[in-house]
Amino acid sequence: MTERIGIYGVSAEMLALLPSLIAHPDLEIVRIYTGRARALLARLPDLDPELAAALVDLLSDRPESVSSDRSLSAIIEATHGLDPKVHSRDAGGDGPRVLSPSQARQLWGGPTPSREARRFEIRGALQSIYDSEDDLGRQLAAICRLAATRAGDCVVQLYRLDAAAGCLRLAATSLPGEITGGADLRIPLGEGIEGEVARRRSALRMQGATGGWLWCLPLRARAEIAGVLSLQAGAGSRWDPTREAPLTELAEAVGTALLRAEAEQRRAQRSRNFENLANVSLRMISSRDVGELLRLGASEAARTLGADHAVLRLVDWRTQQLVVRSYSGSAEGSLQEALFRLDRSLAGELLDRNAPRRIERITADPALRAHSEVAQSAIATPLRRGEIPVGTLALYDKLDPERLEPVPFHAQDLELLERFARHLERALANARLRARARSQGELDEETELPQQDYLERRVREELARSAASATSFSLLSVRIENLEALRRGPEPLVALRCTTRLAESLRSRIRDFDVLARSARDEFVLLLPEPGRVPEDRILDLARAVAEDVAKPGRIEAAPRAELAFGYASHPADGADWESLMARAREPRIRNL
């Protein structure tokens, strides 16, 4: 049965007792009276956040809010001044009991507090560590010292899980000073007490025959584990069972905080990676020389994903061999030759599979282990032209500034590499178009835009890319419906001005990886890869802006205006091939914006 209690006055002793009372499962604090309510409220930022939140709801500056409440079963008198009538009713058994803080502590705040109370108190102690301006290493060391204080005379070490390397790494200790020689101390999972605790995800304790003990707890939250907390006491020290519950609570709280911080760090890193990728894409798409673009592709792939080596190969169609077209990394001489032999084996497999691959340990791969002396891990993806693989991009050995050795690539690294490769493929297509157009004159003479043949090739490439990676794209058709009438009119140059103005308006509003082509004398078509979750919104905004540009009056005010018709199609909703998508896009949906 829950007891409703009130508190009369707030003293230092009362503040220390409050967390236990608030967390007690059989108590409900109805009201706390203090004549210094405003002063106490001003101190809330200095108190534990959960205690401060409780005080905001419970504090009152009216003494009768406690002394006159007949529903209370007890009143804790922390300061003098409680109405004597309350004491009289207590003595006569006709009112709430009046207790001192020490009596309340004996009843509800004893040496074995509830799980909720322990958690409340531990969270408060940890929060003061988290709120400090120390870096993570110093905060973890403070947590070790806190655990050592709770456990008694012992040494505490905190290991963090390195899942990619399959080991625990020493992160902090309760001993004075910073970690130096043991900075890269690693314990493989399943080895030693700490490694076994990490593998089993459950605590282990060992007791020495002549005293001394070792206790290891997993830092975990539900099924995930962030590391291991190891506590060790020397000979002559006996294990105190009463320490087990609070230290278990501490380990759970630290595990939850570490896993939350790691998840936030991954989200932030993912956001930074995609922001970097967008910037790199702009640089690649603006490159006009294929050779320069290939060099840029390898170096930026290595930089974006933190790889020691990047190898880019393309098929030489004369010899049908995969040829290294660009390398970025630190390998030279015989080491570079050995790396290229490894890459040749991996590239051949990629072309056969036409699928990306992540290799955590090259030594574990039967086909590649013969070349494992030059690299430990790799990620690689095919480079395609449409559906056909025409090259490979492979990265070797992920570098970590906090590690002495390379670390394996993660699944997120492979996802980012695939996105990078798609941007590189588009940039290569654009660079080849520019080179071919310069040499063969394939651009439209009036607008210097590619024509329908090129647009069709690019749409077919996007269709193949969508089939491989479930991406989408849209087509926007813009037709000048009265172009022939403008050409036959008294001012034939009006037709040319309308055409070039429309081309420039479209060109100024597209992204670097969009494709704009003049597909007919009176028609322009825009290919929009990755148009967004609602392509119609982007298309409508684009159509409105283009219509406004073309409708602006020229120097000949009386000249007739271009009449525009807009149509659009999205893959896969409006078609699954070039013909059906173009037929749908050419159906006018918007006129006279």
For residue 545, give every residue at least 6 positions away whose Cβ sits within 8 Å of its Cβ, in sequence order, or none: 505, 509
The residue assigned the tokens 């493929």 is 425
Strands of 49-175, DSSP E? 59-60, 74-77, 97-99, 155-162, 167-173
| Cα 74–chain centre separation | 51
Which of 110, 125, 149 is the endpoint of a domain? Answer: 110
Q: How far apart are CA 494 and CA 556, in angstroms?
A: 9
Residues 238 and 200 in one domain: yes
Q: Give me the domain span that covers residue 223.
A: 133-264
| Domain assignment present for 253 | yes
Residues 74 and 194 in one domain: no
Q: Find the CATH number of the domain harbouring 343.
A: 3.30.450.40
DSSP state of 562: P
Residues 392 and 309 in one domain: yes
Q: What percent of the chain has pLDDT over 70?
A: 90
Indicate the average pLDDT of the chain: 83
| Domain assignment present for 144 | yes
47-69 confidence digits (pLDDT tens): 777 778 888 888 888 888 888 88
Residues 255 and 303 in one domain: no
| Domain assignment present for 339 | yes
Which of 95, 110, 125 is the endpoint of a domain? Answer: 110
Residues 490 and 562 in one domain: yes
Count the domains in the chain: 4
**Which parts of the chain have pLDDT scores under 70?**
1, 46, 87-88, 90-93, 109-121, 177-184, 317-320, 402-404, 435-442, 492, 553-559, 592-593
Residues 450 and 558 in one domain: yes
pLDDT score, position 112: 47
| Domain assignment present for 272 | no
Cα dist. 19→47, 239, 365, 562 in Å? 11, 27, 56, 76
Residues 419 and 463 in one domain: no
Q: How far apart are CA 461 and CA 278, in angstroms?
A: 21
Q: Find the CATH number of the domain harbouring 45.
A: 3.40.50.720
| Domain assignment present for 270 | no
| Domain assignment present for 350 | yes
Residues 162 and 104 in one domain: no
pLDDT score, position 531: 85
Residues 449 and 587 in one domain: yes
| Domain assignment present for 48 | yes
Residues 327 and 364 in one domain: yes
Residues 476 and 363 in one domain: no
State pTM to two decimals: 0.48
| Domain assignment present for 274 | no
420-446 confidence digits (pLDDT tens): 998 898 888 888 777 666 554 567 777
Residues 394 and 504 in one domain: no
